[in-house]
Amino acid sequence: MLTGFDHFLVVDRTNGLLTGGFEVSLAPQTADSPEHNSSGMPIIYIKEPTDNARHIALGKFMDAWSKLENCIASSLCDATGLHRMNADVLMNALGTRGQLEVISLLGFSGLPAAQETTLRALLGRVRNNNTRRNHIVHGSWALEAKLYDANGKAIVRLTQQRRYPVSDPEMREALKRPENKRERAKYVFSVRRIQGITKELEQLSEDFSAFHRVRHGLPEGTRRYLVGVQTHGPE
């Protein structure tokens, strides 16, 4: 039984090598481990990954999204004239889609044409990443084992994946087959792919910061953070 994953999938890509059936064993393979079970079927030994690569990748992804939310907050404050502390309340109520809608409705007033074009493009990139963000955050970890024919012997290649739980039964079945790349692109995220999306988010934040520097005449290399400061009277 796997301990670090919520789902376990086996995909036979051996082109008929295992047509007679096979057994999957999650027990550690030793020199004395049998190659076949009592029914004569080959035993495929799979060792569960114990590294933290997937957790590190997810943590860096969340950090990148948090930094992007700071950029969105700056544009929301520009669009509404709100102080950041009040904008936080609005952001929580609106969600990302609502925030982008408010910025789209109010945020272009008085902008030069070039800056308006830049801001529209930035908002579009956030929209494109928002659905992927939701699928990654609300997904769970799965271990996919693909079996290949290596000179008449089945070998295993493991992929750690973040999978979004779809409700449609046909789609769930489609996601089990690697050839359905279009469907899997929406709901299945390998560690490497999460790392790639994280880099996209980091670049998006950099581009947002560059836009804010131009809009507000800030020096090159600075970032614009609207931090709410609350003052208290004597206690």
Percent of the residues in the chain that have a pLDDT greater than 90, as a whole number: 73
b or e along 62-83 (b: 16 or more beta carbons within 10 Å of the residue's beta carbon)? eebbebbbbbbbbbbbbbeebe
pLDDT of residue 161: 97
Question: Predicted confidence band at 228 (pLDDT cuts at 50, 70, 90)?
Answer: very low
Domain ranges of the chain: 53-136+195-216
Q: What is the pLDDT of residues 109-123, one digit of tens each?
A: 889 999 999 999 999
Residue 234 has pLDDT above 50, yes or no: no
**Residue 133, SS3 per DSSP:** helix
Q: What is the pLDDT of residues 180-192, one digit of tens each?
A: 999 999 999 999 9
Mean pLDDT throughout 186-210? Answer: 97
Mean pLDDT throughout 142-146? Answer: 95
pLDDT of residue 174: 95
Taking alpha carbons only, the member of 42, 31, 66, 43 closest to residue 137 is 66
pLDDT of residue 223: 61
pLDDT of residue 185: 96
Question: Predicted confidence band at 86 (pLDDT cuts at 50, 70, 90)?
Answer: confident
Helices (H) and strands (E) in the chain, counts: 6, 6
Comparing 19-33, 142-156, 218-232, which segment has the lowest mean pLDDT? 218-232
CB 18 within 8 A of CB 40: no
pTM for this predicted structure: 0.86
